[in-house]
Amino acid sequence: MNWLKNDFKQFKNDNKKTVMYLVKEFEMKKSATAYKRASTDKTGVIDPLKLKDYKFSDDIFKRLTILPNAKNHGMIMLLDWSGSMCDVIKQTIDQLMNLVWFCQKVNIPYEVYLFTSEMDGSEIGAYDYDEECNKTNIKKVSWNFKHGDGYFPNFNLINVASHRMKKNELDDSLMYLHHMGLYYEDRYSNRGWDPLNPYYYKGDRFDIPKEFWLGTTPLNEALVVMNKIVPMFKKKYNIEKMTFITLTDGGANSNYGTETITNTEKGMSILKSSGRGTPVITIGKKQYTVDNVYYGQMTNLLLDVLKDQYDINTIGFYVVKRLNRVWELDQYIGNYKDWTDKQSKILKLKKQFTKEKMAAVSKPGYNKYFLLNGKQLAVENADLSTVNDGMTTGKIKQLFSKSMKGRIVSRSLLNKFIEEVA
């Protein structure tokens, strides 16, 4: 535990400069946007220096630059706590903590949730719906179904960071999140088996609660619940510019079929769909739909509902382990004229992904969607330990520039985050 406290403290200190850099970038971009939208008006006060022009111009008044009022920002972030995240979860948590510290510094209200199929330590009712069974396990039931409702499995949202937390509460929560990242990195990499590695087994000295084991991907279930949380959050904190972020590495559980609850002689049960089906979401007199739920369209549909109903900016960060499968690339390059154009776009996407460790692509449901290189997502910090008195000024400058570039570029998620939020 002492080792863990010191390791987390060191990680936090290492990232302070980067967080402050992001704060500066945020304020600069915000100011630039405000000046772009600024208007100029007459003050009603005569400018003595313009009196000489009164015969030729009636514009002899002092001017006043009017800046639009700053908007109240707010953010909600969802972190994928599924099994497929195991080998990149440490890097994703590192990036996430920088986002939290940034929000803390600029006083932006924020909430961070893990979405998971675990937490209650039981699979009861997770994949089947049985009214009698759920009556005896009422705490494990996520939904109060009625006839005609779309069916979603049970799941949990865990609030792991919030602007409402006291400083020591937030530090404790992030420290345990840091440990869980270390724990999974030890289990799913060779690091824990290498005695020469400074992290040799230290992150795995004590286990984690079974409630935090990785499970399936209830992203859609979390998006359904956001229809309650987002409007409450916006209203409570008077949020004018709301940013909603998902950090995941794949599709959701309920993307590949439509299932509904129906009344039977034995009570309510699931009606399995045949074929692809067409989901329809009705809110008041308005209906939202897509052609079918294959290829992640259920997620797109739920995001469209959130955007339209609550005027939010949706940003997706998709952690990719590799970017070389043709079918994976096809869905991100958009329209193309012919085979040559298609290959050109694929090559351009792969080059950007390799060079910048990320690639901006179009994705239905999202205002912005970014592919992140899961193998190179680790947060890097500047290493200037090689600087010495014998170096020339040019050499020191070169070393410093190189180290700072690596420090900032490695935070691809953070850079894009700042651009979108500001």
Lowest mean pLDDT among 164-178, 284-298, 359-373, 402-416: 402-416
Kindly report the number of other CB atoms within 10 A of residue 418's CB atom: 21
pLDDT digits (tens, 9 = 90+) for 40-74: 555 555 556 555 555 555 554 555 544 445 568 89
Structural domain contains residue 48: no
| pLDDT for the residue 176 | 94
**pLDDT at residue 394 greater than cutoff 70:** yes
pLDDT at position 182: 86
SS3 content of the chain, % helix, strand, coil (to 5): 45, 20, 35
Percent of the chain topping pLDDT 90: 26
* Lowest-confidence segment of 168-177, 308-317, 372-381 by average pLDDT: 372-381
Say if CB 390 and CB 422 are below 8 A apart.
no
pLDDT of residue 249: 80
Banded model confidence at residue 124, pLDDT cuts 50, 70, 90? very low
Domain residues for 353? Answer: 73-421
Please give the structure tokens belonging to residue 96: 């996430």
Q: Which has the closest alpha carbon to 95: 19, 191, 183, 168?
A: 19
Q: What is the mean pLDDT of the chain?
A: 77
Q: 20 or 305, which is more confident?
A: 305
Q: Bigger pLDDT: 234 or 67?
A: 234
Give the CATH number, domain containing residue 198: 3.40.50.410
Task: Taking residues 140-148, report their average pLDDT.
Answer: 79
Residue 86 lies in a domain: yes
| Domains held by the chain: number | 1
Residue 343 lies in a domain: yes
Residue 305 lies in a domain: yes
Apex CA 385: angle with CA 382 and CA 391, to 5°?
A: 110
Kindly tell me if the per-residue pLDDT of 138 is higher than 60.
no
Please give the pLDDT value at position 376.
63
Choice between 416 and 197, residue whose per-residue pLDDT is larger: 416
In this predicted structure, what is the pLDDT of residue 202?
Answer: 62
Q: Residue 177: its pLDDT value, please? A: 95
97 within domain boundaries = yes
At residue 331, does pLDDT exceed 80?
Answer: no
At 222, give phi and psi (nearest 5°).
Answer: -65, -40
Inter-residue contact 204 to 179 (CB < 8 Å):
no
The answer, yes or no, to whether residue 401 has pLDDT greater than 50, is yes
Choice among 10-14, 245-249, 391-395 with the minimum mean pLDDT? 391-395
Is residue 134 classed as helix, strand or coil in its secondary structure?
helix
Amino acid at site 112:
V
Least confident of 190-199, 278-287, 304-313, 319-328: 190-199
Check residue 262 and report its DSSP letter.
Answer: E
pLDDT of 26 above 50 = yes
Given a cut of 60, whether residue 115 has pLDDT beyond it is: yes
Residue 250's nearest CA partner among 418, 113, 87, 129 is 87
d(CA 214, CA 119): 9
Task: Please check whether residue 372 is in contact with residue 317, taking contact to mean a CB–CB distance below 8 angstroms.
Answer: yes
Q: Assess contact for 154 and 125: CB atoms under 8 A.
A: yes
Confidence grade of residue 77 (pLDDT, cut at 50, 70, 90) = very high
- The mean pLDDT of 104-120, rounded to a whole number, is 90
* Within-domain flag for 395: yes
Compute the Cα dihedral for 212, 215, 219, 225 and give only its sign: negative
| pLDDT computed for residue 306 by the predictor | 96
Residue 153 lies in a domain: yes
Which range (3-7, 51-55, 113-117, 361-365) has the least confidence? 51-55
What confidence tens digit (pLDDT) does each residue in 341-352 have?
888 888 888 888
Residue 40, domain member (yes or no):
no
Identify the three-state secondary structure at position 5.
Answer: helix
When mean pLDDT is compared across 12-16, 359-363, 371-375, the lowest value belongs to 371-375
CB 105 within 8 A of CB 19: yes
Residue 86's pLDDT is what? 86
- Pair of tokens at residue 82: 């599924």
Q: Which has the higher per-residue pLDDT, 17 or 179? A: 179
Maximal C-alpha separation, the chain = 93
pLDDT of residue 383: 54
- Kindly tell me if the per-residue pLDDT of 20 is higher than 80: yes
Residue 1's pLDDT is 85
pTM of the shown model: 0.79
pLDDT of residue 414: 66
Contact indicator for 276, 294 with CB cutoff of 8 Å = yes
Strands 259-264 and 312-320: unpaired
Q: Is the pLDDT of residue 392 over 70?
A: yes
